[in-house]
Amino acid sequence: MNTEPDSSPGLRLMELLELLARQERPQALPELIELTGWPKPTVHRMLIQLERGGWLAREPDGRHFALAPRLLRLAEASLGNSTLQGVRHTVLRQLVNEVGESCNLTALSGAEVVYLDRVESAFPLRMELRAGTRVPLHCSASGKLFLAWMTTRQREALLQGLDLVRFTANTLGERAALDAELDAIRRDGHAVDAEEFVEGLVCVAVPVFAPGQRAVRCALALQAPAARMSLAQAKAELPALQKAAKALARTLG
């Protein structure tokens, strides 16, 4: 953390947001003072400014601060509208040409999955989901993928406040069943949606890792009507998905 006395107030605010974004859980004032080495009045004033601006939000205990939706939307927009967006879209388009079905790139946003980009198949029978669309974590292939790669603490904190709503007869509405599947996803390296979110729709997702890290930055998924592509057929396209995921990883920096 930058503790130089000539750091501008605006830069200090950005540094504090960056620090919070790197933590696995919300932080309280004493923890942030220890992490930054800044005076208590300075950190307290900055937290109040960021909270009033909608960049941070207090947890129910009133003491811990977490990233607010406004900051999450900024992160999504930055990733989706970077100069490399065209490259990512090209990778998606090439993948769709190869597998013949719709593919999308998603990111974790709070307790949901947000679509960063998507290329539709040429078939008239398809489910159009535009960039910015949000879907649940527990019953989407990408969502389960993000959950599987979280630390135990992160996953527990998120799932404790998550209602496992049943969207179809196949939705994993019980915590034990979901935990077992998340363990399998981490072991196998991919996730599936077996008509768990929308009846008649299957999906397979693979992680897009940050370069040189084992952190999942995004998820790349293939989605198709079960009437045209079975889940087994979708899983047969995993090599193509994994190859495209590596190409996408090189654009993340």
Q: Is the pLDDT of residue 125 over 60?
A: yes
Encode burial over 39-68: b for 16+ CB neighbours within 10 A, e otherwise. Answer: eeeebeebbeebeeeebbbeeeeeebbebb
Q: Which CATH class is domain 73-249?
A: alpha beta
pLDDT score at 223: 95
Could you give the residue range(s) of every CATH 1.10.10.10 domain in the chain? 9-67
pLDDT score at 70: 80
pLDDT more than 90, % of the chain: 50
Please give the distance of CA 75 from its chain centroid, rounded to a whole number: 11
Q: Which CA distances in Å does 174 have to 138, 178, 233?
A: 10, 6, 27
Please give the distance of CA 94 from its chain centroid, rounded to a whole number: 23
The model's confidence at residue 242, banded by pLDDT at 50, 70 and 90, is very high
The architecture (CATH level 2) of 9-67 comes to Orthogonal Bundle (1.10)
Q: Is the pLDDT of residue 216 over 90?
A: no
Higher pLDDT, 70 or 209: 209
The rounded mean pLDDT for the chain is 86
Which single residue is written with the structure tokens 């969502």? 143
Q: Is the pLDDT of residue 8 over 80?
A: no
Higher pLDDT, 31 or 73: 31
Which single residue is written with the structure tokens 């904190």? 157
The model's confidence at residue 89, banded by pLDDT at 50, 70 and 90, is confident
pLDDT score at 88: 84
pTM over the 0.75 mark: no
Q: Is the pLDDT of residue 2 over 50?
A: no
Higher pLDDT, 14 or 9: 14
Could you give the residue range(s) of every CATH 3.30.450.40 domain in the chain? 73-249
> What DSSP string describes 55-97?
SEEE-TTSSEEEE-HHHHHHHHHHHHTSTTHHHHHHHHHHHHH
In this prediction, residues 128-146 reach a mean pLDDT of 86
pLDDT score at 5: 40
Q: Is the pLDDT of residue 176 over 90?
A: yes
In this prediction, residues 172-194 reach a mean pLDDT of 95
Q: What is the pLDDT of residues 17-60, one digit of tens each?
A: 888 887 878 889 999 999 899 999 999 999 999 988 888 888 87
